[in-house]
Amino acid sequence: MVKFLATTTFIAALGWGITANGGVNATKADIQRLWAPEEKIVVFVKSMENYPLLMGRVTLQEYDDVGHIAAGYGTRAYLLTVKTEAEASRVMMQKLVEANMFIDRLVKIPLKKHQRDALVSLVYNIGPTEFAKSHALEHLNRGEIKQFLHQAFHHKRGFVRVRNKIHKGLVARRALESNIFQNGDEMGFYWINMNPSGHLTD
């Protein structure tokens, strides 16, 4: 048996039990069945969430993220046991796996790899609850891709608002995710090597 730390939501959704000290008992086969993000999607999400930290321009600091205290790559600060980039990466990887798990539960149509990558980035950013109750998901599950793209990624109708105001960083991120979903990984990931100014969501 392998024991590791995981969030309560993640554990419950997987159907695993929580041990007395907050860990989880899972077999190696259980862990191997978990989807693991490839390097491109990891770097893409990091660049969207905190480009200066990814590039080593700043040290890890806590910040206000729409009403909660975050640290690292857009995750709650309390999830980090130590305030390092490596720990921020570990927590982000866990959250990417969780995002993919929720996609498996919520999406009823087959997905190509690049479509899944786009959705992982989206769900990581907006959260599974917001995605689960959205018209975008309803359209996706009916195979209405044009309507899904409009509801998810459109610069006004998509997931682009913070406190009901359109956020230019989210507009840019949704455009890149839309490119990935429609055209393949390289159509969005190329931005990572071309961005001169840093954090899209400033």
Same domain, 107 and 163: yes
Confidence grade of residue 28 (pLDDT, cut at 50, 70, 90): very low
Decide: 77 and 69 in contact? Cβ < 8 Å: yes
Enclosing domain of residue 106: 35-193
- Region 106-134: mean pLDDT is 95
pLDDT higher than 60, residue 13: no
By percentage, how much of the chain surpasses pLDDT 90?
66
Task: Tell whether 199 is covered by a domain.
Answer: no
Task: Give 89's Cβ-side CA count (13 Å radius).
Answer: 15
How far apart (Å, rounded) are the C-alpha atoms in residues 118 and 123?
9
pLDDT in the model for residue 161? 95
Counted domains in the chain? 2
pTM score = 0.79
| Residue closest to 102 by CA, chosen among 2, 3, 12 | 12
Query: Environment class of residue 172 by beta-carbon count within 10 Å: exposed (0-12), middle (13-18) or buried (19+)?
Result: middle
Confidence grade of residue 125 (pLDDT, cut at 50, 70, 90): very high
Task: Tell whether 202 is covered by a domain.
Answer: no
The SS3 assignment for 104 reads: helix
Task: Tell whether 201 is covered by a domain.
Answer: no
Q: What is the pLDDT of residues 87-97, one digit of tens each?
A: 999 999 999 99
pLDDT in the model for residue 66? 77
Out of 2-6, 51-55, 194-198, pick the least confident.
Answer: 2-6
Write out the E strands in 6-158. Answer: 23-26, 62-65, 68-71, 75-76
Same domain, 138 and 127: yes
Out of 20-29, 141-150, 155-164, pick the least confident.
Answer: 20-29
